């Protein structure tokens, strides 16, 4: 398919009518590759760098040089409460209250910290539910937590598996499994969006089912935060964790986040691995021997915040606040749907999109399986300037991110895919 003038004009008209198109100019894109302008569809692995990041990080470096230790109180954005600058904008993205939200550590560290508090196997109630094909770090984490409690994952880990010849889970099957396990369940722990298939789970329904049996419910929002509509508080989720280097554009290895529902805010009798930054702010610097946790999610903090990482994330969260999640989700559905239709129109029987077709069951990711193509197809796409993600054994993941991807990006990708398949 050659990109003729009429087609080019049409897709440019779509971009011209996009009220969020100007946000694209707020980000740095990779340099051209082999003479091809980049099509960056890997925001589900590492988001692009907001242009203001350099300014915000340089500001902290300058204050460090100028003030040294006094920067904790006298920097332009004082370091002592720096994590609080991120709390409210992050809470808006995940549908939480500020008291339920904190940016700290990294995703898997936070997952372990919260499972110490919320995975409490007792008697017959000792099983843990996870989806098949969860991100490996989650699998390792839950299995190691089971072993730390002296439990055998082969007996106590319930793995949700799609039906034969299906790639994604049906909500009714998830609920049926939770109901069947009943009082044997201690924790339901799923990804909000499955990293491989791009399926967004019905977290509200799953949470209700888990609570009905008496289990605790938590989610890994690594591929959900900044991608899909989230209402952690309203859905009554017990806890959640996420990273901020994917859709949230916080940079490589960026600081993670955690949610703890308000009803647990003053459950100070919960077991937890304590650190001094989770101590009550009024008495923290008295350096007393007894730990007095802060109310809310902040009470799970261990260490003082990484200022340079948080400065980078602050630049991105400002863009999210300006755009608003409802508008981003609206564009995401249009952009992802447009890309889906272009891929369908290629008309190659080898192509299968394993991501759900229903917009409410996905975010801005399409996982494309091309039978008998192999990794060489991905390599041909990369050589043409496409930044896409290969996942064994046969899936190419593409993420048309509404903050910085255009409809022309989608059109060009479909054109290149068609040519590479030919």
Two tokens, residue 289: 């021997």
Q: Do 332 and 313 have their domain in common?
A: no
Q: Do 135 and 241 have their domain in common?
A: yes
Domain end among 266, 291, 321: 321
Q: What is the pLDDT of residue 354?
A: 97
Q: What is the pLDDT of residue 382?
A: 96
Residue 255 placed within a domain: yes
Give backbone dihedrals phi and psi of 278, rounded to 5 degrees, phi first. -85, 0
| Residue with tokens 């805010």, as numbered in its chain | 265
Q: Do 216 and 254 have their domain in common?
A: yes
Host domain of residue 342: 5-49+324-421
Q: Do 119 and 198 have their domain in common?
A: yes
Q: What is the pLDDT of residue 3?
A: 46
Q: Do 301 and 373 have their domain in common?
A: no
Q: What is the pLDDT of residue 7?
A: 59
Give backbone dihedrals phi and psi of 208, rounded to 5 degrees, phi first. -60, -40
CATH number of residue 406's parent domain? 3.90.1150.10
Q: Do 168 and 45 have their domain in common?
A: no
Q: What is the pLDDT of residue 9?
A: 62
Q: Do 368 and 254 have their domain in common?
A: no
For the residues of 325-387, what is the DSSP string, one character each?
HHHHHHHHHHHHHHHHHHHHTT--TTEEE-S-SSGGGB-S-EEEEETTT-HHHHHHHHHTTEE
Residue 75 placed within a domain: no
The answer to whether 226 and 248 are in contact (CB under 8 A) is: yes
* Cα–Cα distance for residue pair 127/305, rounded to 1 Å: 34
Residue 63 placed within a domain: no
* Size (the chain), residues: 422
Q: What is the pLDDT of residue 98?
A: 98
The answer to whether 365 and 8 are in contact (CB under 8 A) is: no
| Axis crossing angle, helix 52-67 with helix 307-323, rounded to the nearest 10 | 140
The answer to whether 53 and 28 are in contact (CB under 8 A) is: no
Low-confidence ranges of the chain (pLDDT < 70): 1-9
Residue 64 placed within a domain: no
Per-residue H/E/C for 116-158? HHHCCCECCECEEEEECCCCHHHHHHHHHHHHHCCCCHHHHEE
* Cα–Cα distance for residue pair 158/129, rounded to 1 Å: 5
Residue 66 placed within a domain: no
Q: Do 282 and 379 have their domain in common?
A: no
Q: Do 371 and 290 have their domain in common?
A: no
Dihedral angle sign, alpha carbons of residues 196, 128, 144, 268: positive
Residue 366 placed within a domain: yes
Residue 61 placed within a domain: no
Residue 58 placed within a domain: no
Q: Do 412 and 279 have their domain in common?
A: no
Q: What is the pLDDT of residue 4?
A: 52
Q: Do 150 and 286 have their domain in common?
A: yes
Domain end among 321, 337, 367: 321
Q: What is the pLDDT of residue 422?
A: 87
Q: List, in order, residues 6 or more apart from 408 with CB less than 8 Å away.
A: 8, 11, 12, 15
The DSSP 8-state label assigned to residue 273 in this structure reads -
Q: What is the pLDDT of residue 374?
A: 83
Q: Do 254 and 115 have their domain in common?
A: yes
Q: Which class for 291: exposed (0-12), middle (13-18), buried (19 or more C-beta within 10 A)?
A: middle
Q: What is the pLDDT of residue 373?
A: 83
CATH number of residue 315's parent domain? 3.40.640.10
Domain count along the chain: 2
Provide the β-strand partners of residue 219. Answer: 190, 240
In 263-337, the DSSP E strands lie at: none
Residue 102, H or E segment: strand 101-103
Domain end among 262, 289, 321: 321
């Amino acid at each position: 398919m050659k990109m003729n003038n009429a087609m080019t004009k049409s897709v440019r008209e779509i971009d011209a009518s996009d009220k969020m198109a100007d946000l694209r100019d707020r980000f740095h894109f990779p340099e051209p590759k082999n003479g091809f302008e980049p099509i960056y569809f890997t925001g589900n692995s590492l988001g692009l760098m907001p242009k203001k990041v350099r300014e915000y990080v340089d500001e902290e470096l300058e204050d460090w040089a100028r003030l040294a230790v006094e920067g904790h109180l006298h920097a332009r954005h004082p370091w002592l409460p720096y994590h609080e600058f991120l709390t409210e904008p992050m809470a808006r993205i995940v549908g939480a209250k500020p008291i339920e939200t904190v940016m700290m550590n990294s995703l898997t560290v936070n997952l372990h910290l919260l499972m110490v508090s919320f995975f409490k196997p007792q008697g017959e109630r000792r099983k843990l539910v996870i989806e098949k094909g969860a991100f490996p770090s989650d699998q390792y984490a839950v299995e190691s937590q089971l072993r730390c409690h002296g439990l055998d994952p082969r007996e106590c880990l319930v793995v949700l598996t799609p039906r034969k010849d299906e790639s994604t889970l049906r909500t009714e099957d998830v609920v049926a499994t939770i109901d069947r396990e009943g009082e044997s369940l201690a924790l339901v722990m799923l990804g909000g969006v499955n990293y491989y298939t791009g399926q967004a789970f019905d977290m509200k329904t799953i949470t209700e089912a888990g609570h009905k049996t008496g289990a605790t419910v938590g989610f890994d929002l690594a591929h959900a935060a900044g991608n899909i509509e989230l209402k952690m508080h309203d859905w009554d989720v017990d806890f959640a964790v996420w990273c901020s280097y994917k859709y949230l554009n916080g940079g490589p290895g960026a600081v993670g986040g955690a949610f703890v529902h308000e009803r647990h805010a003053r459950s100070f009798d919960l077991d937890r691995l304590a650190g001094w930054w989770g101590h009550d702010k009024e008495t923290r610097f008295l350096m007393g021997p007894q730990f007095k946790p802060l109310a809310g999610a902040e009470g799970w903090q261990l260490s003082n915040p990484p200022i340079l990482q948080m400065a980078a994330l602050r630049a991105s969260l400002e863009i999210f606040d300006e755009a608003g999640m409802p508008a981003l989700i609206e564009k995401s559905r249009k952009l992802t749907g447009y890309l889906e239709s272009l891929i369908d129109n290629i008309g190659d029987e080898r192509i299968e999109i394993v991501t759900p077709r229903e917009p409410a069951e996905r975010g801005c990711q399409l996982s494309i399986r091309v039978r008998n193509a192999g990794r060489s197809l991905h390599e041909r796409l990369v050589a043409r300037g496409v930044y896409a993600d290969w996942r064994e054994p046969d899936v190419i993941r593409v993420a048309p991110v509404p903050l910085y991807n255009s409809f022309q990006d989608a059109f060009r990708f479909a054109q290149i895919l068609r040519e590479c398949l030919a």
